[in-house]
């Protein structure tokens, strides 16, 4: 697993985007405030494509008041 970024928004909300290795390649998982099931799951072989999708989502969240607290 490789965490791409974590974002927060009051009160105590958090979203995390991470890339996981799976049998078919790699998978982007976006999780909300520690929920057991990811909000968004996208499986691709290309880490670059997954990072691009995560960056698009990050931009939308920033436009809606979310703040980055950690990024790789």
Residues of the domain holding 11: 2-71
Q: What is the mean pLDDT of the chain?
A: 86
**Do 44 and 26 contact (CB within 8 A), yes or no?**
yes
Q: What is the pLDDT of residues 28-62, one digit of tens each?
A: 888 888 677 777 677 776 888 889 999 999 999 99
Would the pTM of this model clear 0.85, i.e. be above it?
no
Following DSSP, what letter does each residue of 23-68 receive, concatenated?
Answer: TTEEEEEEEETT-SS-SEEEEES-HHHHHHHHHHHHHHHHHTT-EE
Closest CA relative to residue 39, chosen from 63, 65, 13: 13
Q: How many domains does the chain have?
A: 1
Calculate ∠ Cα 62-56-58, nearest 5°.
30
């Amino acid at each position: 697993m490789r965490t791409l970024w974590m974002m927060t928004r009051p009160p105590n909300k958090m979203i995390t985007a991470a890339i996981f290795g799976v049998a078919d390649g790699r998978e982007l998982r976006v999780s909300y405030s520690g929920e057991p099931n990811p909000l968004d799951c996208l499986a691709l072989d290309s880490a670059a494509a997954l990072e691009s999708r995560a960056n698009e989502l990050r931009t939308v969240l920033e436009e809606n008041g979310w703040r980055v607290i950690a990024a790789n």
